Amino acid sequence: MLGKLMRKKTAEPDRLLAEEIASVKSRHIPAHVAIIMDGNGRWAKKRNLPRIAGHHEGMKTVRKISRIASDMGIKVLTLYAFSTENWKRPKLEIDFLMKLPGEFLSTYLPELIEQNVKVEMIGNFELLPSHTKNSIQRAIDATAENDGMTLNFAMNYGSRLELIQCMQEIAKLAAEGKIDPSEIDESLIESHLMTSHLPEPDLLIRTSGEVRLSNFMLWQLAYAEFSFTDVLWPDFDEQCMVSEIKEFQTRVRRFGSVEGDGNT
Ligand code: V07
């Protein structure tokens, strides 16, 4: 009896969600969604828990949102997991954060493989602790042949550093006489960014009510739709993600056209 009641309680939202996914899929799906996963510390504070408890809960949200993004047919999901500024946090918190990729992957890698997800990373890989690098590299290798959704983690990523490295590479080519400065255009710059192989994000979501970019994909987000939600990342669920995509679908994308690009 109890089992039946519990099933009824959970099956109905599942069916509604499945219907919503089907309806969302019949319209234009953003190819690339980028998310700033903010509010983990605040989620923990509200519950009198240590910040690391919020980070751990946030990791479970990563799993939920990756799965539904893949179900909706999103081709690339970029998640801002650790910024170059995050090194300023207390050492114990950093140590905990650096263990999350290993924990996440030892729990969920089989599931990602089953979903045909390809794991990738942008950011300065070399400066991560070796146990973190090893976990991520193993996941990248194990999923390299997958051709479903790309789950792209921004780890030790900062957009200004990315642009500095890009400019240094291009300046070197110019100094060596391999290119002429007049050949520097958008496509050359893009080819020297960490996202050179990915489409530009169509949608940026930031959770937890902060309305800032915080050094995230400054070049790549030039034409993206932005969505800021007050929901804290650990509370951001499948329904929130579907609603974000539905909202995206109602916005008219007019970039490059004469009308309504906001600069005339
Ligand atoms: C982290 C959980 C999500 C909220 C934001 C802060 C804490 C998953 C990963 C991860 C990274 C690379 C990878 C597999 C998983 C992760 C960090 C923090 C540093 F290949 N969640 N998560 N990495 N949080």
Can you tell me which atom of ligand 1 is nearest the CA of 98? Answer: 19
> What pLDDT was estimated at residue 14?
86
pLDDT value at position 10? 63
The percentage of the chain sitting over the pLDDT mark of 70, rounded to a whole number, equals 91
Q: Is the confidence at residue 91, as pLDDT, over 90?
A: yes
Predicted confidence band at 252 (pLDDT cuts at 50, 70, 90)? low
| Residue in 62, 111, 118 to alter for ligand 1 test, most ligand atoms within 8 A of Cβ | 62
Stated pTM of the model: 0.93
- Tens digits of residue pLDDT in 146-189: 999 999 999 999 999 999 999 999 999 999 999 999 999 999 99
Q: Ligand 1 centroid to 134 CA: how many Å?
A: 14
Q: Looking at the domain covering 29-158+200-221+240-248, what would its CATH class be?
A: alpha beta
- CA quadruple 31, 107, 22, 58: dihedral sign: negative
Query: What angle (nearest 5°) sits at the alpha carbon of residue 161, between those of residues 173 and 262?
Result: 95
pLDDT, residue 9, reads: 56
Inter-residue contact 220 to 33 (CB < 8 Å): no
Is 70 exceeded by the pLDDT of residue 254?
no
pLDDT digits (tens, 9 = 90+) for 204-242: 999 999 999 999 999 999 999 999 999 999 999 999 999
Domain ranges of the chain: 29-158+200-221+240-248
Is residue 86 part of the annotated active site? The answer reads yes
Candidates 149, 64, 173; CA nearest to 108 is 64
